[in-house]
Structure 1
Amino acid sequence: MPEIAGSFLADPADSSSPSRTRIIELARGQRVALAEYGDPHGVPVVFCHGWPASRLQGGLLHEFACELGARIISPDRPGVGLSPAQPGRTLADWPQFLGEMADALGLGEFRVLGVSGGGPYALAAAWGLPERIPVVSVVCGAPPLVNREDTRHLNPAYQWLLHIQRARPGVLRWLFRAARPVARLRPPLWMRSWMLRSLPTPEAETLADHHIFEACFRNYRESWRGGADGLYGDGTIYTQPWGFPLPEVRVPVRLWHGKQDRNFAWELAQEMVAQLPNCEPRYLEDEAHYSLAIRHRRAILADLLAYDPPVR
């Protein structure tokens, strides 16, 4: 990591990336790594990556951001990728963190796009910074989990992780540490067909594209760069109270969800829509979790940019 905040470095995770990683220092001395994609003079859009994911996930928007005139700002959350950990942080701390990042970049108003595990962060930003954020998009977003007893609408792997975290968090932390060396490896070509066979048809069709597959797994591997404890800590936030009630999110929300989503079934999205006072849902019949976010990324970004906020 460079010693001078605000400097640039060639992206250590992807030499073919259209972006460079930037390390900036925030008001309270916290550092954050971010990548920028798209039009550097375009409408600023802060991208909230999923879990496990990293700033590199925003790169999937680069081509369409250039076309549509969007400046994608994609930070690593604390403890993920190249951003130093911030012990004790909660989801409700995100608006202040994001506001300081925007100040450091000289941004006034900006839009927010959150995918999967980035969905709660997009909603937290809308709740905490309504004067700076005119609209947010939540794509295949994770629901509140803290008091959820009925987990049948969650991916079985998430059910297992949630159970272990509630019962034996120390064991789960140890498992993350043990898994990191393997998770950082590039999957061999022979494993790809086996991996795709286990996915819903829309996911398999999407990830059959070599470039998409490589981008997704490069992003996944980068999420482990900061260490297993950082990624584990980022994941535990989903099991804690969000720190704000959904009815207090007054900023307009564009919510996208696939009806074949096996990570978070669309019924969970319906629960959130019922609580959000200004939400426009779009349920896509033939899309799953990753396929919606990838195959419809141009439409999602265009919709976010097209929103015309009322004069304040």
Structure 2
Amino acid sequence: MCSRASTIRATRRPCTRPSRPTCWGRCREGDGAVTRVRERDIDLPDGRTLHVYDSGAQKRYPVLWQHGTPNTGNPPEPLMRAAKKLGLRWVSFDRPAYGGSTRHAGRTVGSVAADVAALADALELESFAVMGHSGGGPHGLACAATLTDRVSAVVSVAGLAPFDADGLDWFDGMGPTSTAALRSAQEGADRKRRHEEESADAPIDFTARDWATLAGPWGWLAEVAAAGVAKGLDGMIDDDLAYVTRWGVDLAAITAPVLLLHGSDDRVAPASHSRWLAGALPGCEHWTLPGEAHLSVLAAEEHGAEDALRWLAERTGR
């Protein structure tokens, strides 16, 4: 949905951490320090495998990271240092067909909540907050709507609204590459796959600020984007198919505090999507950052990803 990984991946060296049942990976922090991240595989009831990441520190409050499309679930390196200062612990996972997780053909945005519940059980998490960027935003909201007794707060950054959102012109403001990718998904998996194979060199709908963001700490996104397609296109295809079908959840069921963060100039997931969500979620907070776009919104000094993480911490009693 959000990016052509073939274009982004040249920005930084791709991440090639191995996928093993239990291993230690590393996440760089902004000051050059390294946080060890434990990786493990969880066996799901239907026979699939879910690859999970955990920054440990059991006394810290867990925040579940929901990754974008196409990415893997590695915890966000640019936010590792901030999370540590706030007493937060990152946990995350590769969505089905990404990284070390088994494919789940026909999955919906809402069905991923069952995988999150299995992750929480395996890590013995009674409650947790959720933060998602881009395609991770819808999945985070779906978790909040489904796991109401476990999700304490949720942040959606540059996320999409439901495809059947009443009164929303879903494609309005979306750039041509993102529009073509998602319209092809409307025509089914085969058409979507052909589209991706035929348009690998299509330009990404990023603004100049987005590209500048990739030159800084958030260039980490280039690594997880490259890793997201290293095994093939199934994860990206299944994500996009899910975005253009019903989520399978009731947003009105969300009881946890919600923050919607969006850049006004986003051409991948237009800011109108968060405006629609704000109307559908009474009591939520909605930050729109003038001039920011799909990636630059993360790096904004005021009301960017670090401030959103601080907002989460405050609502979990940290």
What TM bracket, shorter-length normalisation? 0.7 to 0.9
Identify the residue that residue 262 of structure 1 maps to in structure 2. 267
- Structure 1 residue 63: Cα displacement: 1.6
Q: TM-score, normalised by structure 1?
A: 0.82
CA contact (8 A) 2:53 2:75 kept: no
The partner residue of 1:251 within 229, 253, 256 is: 256
- Structure 1 residue 62: Cα displacement: 1.2
Partner Cα distance (1:283, 1:263) in 2: 15
CA contact (8 A) 2:70 2:235 kept: no
Matches within 5 A, 1:148-187: 151-167=171-187, 169-176=189-196
Kindly report the root-mean-square deviation, in angstroms, between the aligned alpha carbons of the 2 structures: 2.8
Matches within 5 A, 1:104-253: 104-146=122-164, 151-167=171-187, 169-176=189-196, 199-209=206-216, 211-213=217-219, 215-253=220-258
CA contact (8 A) 2:50 2:94 kept: yes
Could you give the per-residue CA deviations for residues 264-285 of structure 1, whole angstroms, max 9, x where no partner exists?
A: 2222211111011331111112
Partner Cα distance (1:168, 1:242) in 2: 16
Could you give the per-residue CA deviations for residues 236-274 of structure 1, whole angstroms, max 9, x where no partner exists?
A: 111110112333323221111111212222222111110
Amino acid at match of 1:305: A
Which of the two has greater helix per residue? 1
Partner Cα distance (2:307, 2:112) in 1: 27
- Structure 1 residue 305: Cα displacement: 0.8
Distance 1:125 1:70, change over 3 A: same
Q: What residue ranges of structure 2 are gaps of 5+ in the alignment?
A: 1-17, 27-33
Q: SS where residue 216 of structure 1 aligns?
A: helix
Identify the residue that residue 61 of structure 1 maps to in structure 2. 79
Could you give the per-residue CA deviations for residues 30-67 of structure 1, whole angstroms, max 9, x where no partner exists?
A: 32112234755311000000111111352332121122
- Structure 1 residue 114: Cα displacement: 1.1
Identify the residue that residue 303 of structure 1 maps to in structure 2. 311
Distance 1:17 1:287, change over 3 A: same
Matches within 5 A, 1:11-90: 18-37=36-55, 39=57, 41-56=59-74, 58-90=76-108
- Structure 1 residue 301: Cα displacement: 0.8
Q: SS where residue 86 of structure 1 aligns?
A: coil
CA contact (8 A) 1:61 1:298 kept: yes
Q: SS where residue 151 of structure 2 aligns?
A: coil
CA contact (8 A) 2:35 2:80 kept: no
Partner Cα distance (2:180, 2:19) in 1: 38
Partner Cα distance (1:173, 1:247) in 2: 34
- Structure 1 residue 2: Cα displacement: 6.7
CA contact (8 A) 1:92 1:243 kept: yes
Q: SS where residue 209 of structure 2 aligns?
A: helix
Identify the residue that residue 187 of structure 1 maps to in structure 2. none
The partner residue of 1:277 within 282, 285, 295 is: 282
Distance 1:163 1:235, change over 3 A: closer
Q: SS where residue 230 of structure 2 aligns?
A: coil
CA contact (8 A) 1:21 1:34 kept: yes
Structure 1 range deviating more: 124-133 or 299-308: 299-308
Q: TM-score, normalised by structure 2?
A: 0.80
Amino acid at match of 2:193: R
Partner Cα distance (1:237, 1:171) in 2: 15
Structure 1 range deviating more: 87-96 or 20-29: 20-29
Q: SS where residue 255 of structure 1 aligns?
A: strand
Partner Cα distance (1:281, 1:36) in 2: 29
Q: Percent identity?
A: 28
CA contact (8 A) 1:37 1:61 kept: no
Distance 1:268 1:20, change over 3 A: same
CA contact (8 A) 1:258 1:289 kept: yes
